Amino acid sequence: MSLYTLGLNHTTAPLEVRERVTFGPDVLGEALRDLTGGRRAKEAAILSTCNRTEVYFHGGEPAKVADWLEGFHGLSSAALRPHLYTLPHDKAVTHAFRVAAGLDSMVLGEPQILGQMKQAVRVAESAGALGLVLNRLFQRTFAVAKDVRTHTDIGSASISMAAAAVKLAERIFASIADERLLLIGAGEMIELAATHFAAKQPKSITVANRTMERGEALADRFGADAITLNELPDRLAQFDIVVTCTASTLPILGKGLLERALRERRHAPMFIVDLAVPRDVEPEAAELDDLFLYSVDDLSAIVKDNLQIRQEAVVQAEQMIAEQTDHFLQWLEGRAVVPTITALSGHHDALRTAELERARRMLANGANPDEVLDALARGLTNKFLHAPLSALNQAGDAERAELIALFHRIYKLPEPPLSGH
């Protein structure tokens, strides 16, 4: 069974590479249809987050899928291949389980990845890209993730990216309570950031979003104001702390816009955390004085400080995943014999039909029923034995010995007497 995971993540590719291979929600369905419709893969699902882009596929060749990934994003092999990993069969299964359980995340045990994986599966289903194998894989994946999170402490004291952003802000500002906060976006990550920063009671909170409706819905929960992205040029200078995470494919905060904002602020420091991939802030903006700009990769050091706390839980989780991988592979290997079973059944059914037709003709011609039954039984026996007996007669010495042992096991034959006794 050709089951693979192909992709890159925060451990194999820097941010400037990861942001070039993301799949936005507006193109994901189209991408899956292109991948499976072009017969590069029989089944496929794509998981695209700020820290990873992975293609889970069945019935395809990794080289062709890698070529497709490069072509879809207009990248050269030299730019992408050094960062890609390909995990076959059992490794692909284990990887899916580890990702959903939060063991492969930058934030160990993070809960968001499970929801992101479920959304990836929903999109793949809607695109008609899932079949029996991947459906079964993801069903088991979600069950394993639930067991790991329920029966281990893998998620305890997990420090999220949003919490890490708060810690960084506290290193720069004496008190967040004295600062004005701007949140750009209204998705899950911004909602999490709002929760963590609101606990520090900043002087004000403003949510900027493309649509006012979604922005207001989030702002109302935290007693915040809401503005549209179009208002940012006029309002940006008012804020001391900015956290941004949108699905935009182009930067929202350019270097020139930030430069003007800093001049208006008379060079009072501005702290920006860009949690988006692709980035919402032009990387060149980091060159500006008085601007403290951090990306998801910059936050990883703070997050890693928390990893050692839960190493015992990691060991326990890895054991659970290893056991569940074995169970899934047993099912997968069972699926591999289905075509052979179907072919054998069809072959013997054809033999049965032929002998039955011969018996009916004999009866129609007035033959004795007992003789017909005897002929039917002999005919079936001879036809069923023809293939194994021919294989024995045509086999070489070594193969014949293997076939003899196999037939004894299949047909439960008595062991032959030892020669010379």
Catalytic-labelled residue, pool 28, 41, 47, 50: 50
Domain residues for the domain of 379 are: 345-411
pLDDT score for 344: 82
pTM above 0.85, yes or no: no
Q: Is residue 245 flagged as an active site residue?
A: no
Query: Could you give the C-alpha distances from 99 to 27, 43, 172, 235, in angstroms and in order?
Result: 23, 19, 33, 39
Report the chain's C-alpha Rg in angstroms. Answer: 31
Q: Looking at 288, 304, 320, which one is the last position of a domain?
A: 304
Same domain, 325 and 349: no
Same domain, 41 and 146: yes
Distance linking the first and last C-alpha atoms of the chain: 48
Query: Could you give the C-alpha distances from 343 to 316, 348, 403, in angstroms and in order?
Result: 43, 9, 20
Same domain, 367 and 395: yes
| Structural domain total, the chain | 3
pLDDT score for 114: 92
Asked whether residue 420 is domain-assigned, the answer is no
Asked whether residue 11 is domain-assigned, the answer is yes
Handedness of CA 291, 296, 299, 301 (dihedral sign): negative
Asked whether residue 421 is domain-assigned, the answer is no
pLDDT score for 156: 65
Tens digit of pLDDT at every position of the chain (421 positions): 589 999 999 999 999 999 999 999 999 999 999 999 888 999 999 999 989 999 999 999 999 999 999 999 999 999 999 999 999 999 999 999 999 999 998 888 888 899 999 999 999 999 999 999 999 999 999 999 999 988 888 776 556 788 889 988 998 898 999 999 999 999 988 999 999 999 999 999 999 999 999 999 999 999 999 999 999 999 999 999 999 999 898 999 999 999 999 999 998 999 999 999 999 999 999 999 999 999 988 887 777 665 655 677 788 888 999 999 988 888 887 776 677 778 888 888 888 898 899 989 999 999 999 988 998 888 888 888 888 888 888 888 888 888 888 888 888 888 766 554 4
Q: At residue 400, what are phi and psi to the nearest 5 degrees?
A: -65, -40
Same domain, 167 and 153: no
Per residue in 135-155, is it b (16+ CB within 10 Å) or e — as a string?
A: eebbebbbebbebbbeebbbb
Contacts of 199 (CB under 8 A, 6+ apart): none
Same domain, 25 and 144: yes
The per-type count for the chain, helices as H runs and strands as E runs, is 17, 10
Same domain, 180 and 316: no
Asked whether residue 241 is domain-assigned, the answer is yes
Asked whether residue 416 is domain-assigned, the answer is no
Same domain, 49 and 143: yes
Contact by Cβ (8 Å): 137, 1:
no
CATH at 145 = 3.30.460.30
Same domain, 165 and 26: no
Strands (E), 239-369: 241-244, 270-274, 291-295
Same domain, 313 and 274: no
pLDDT score for 175: 92
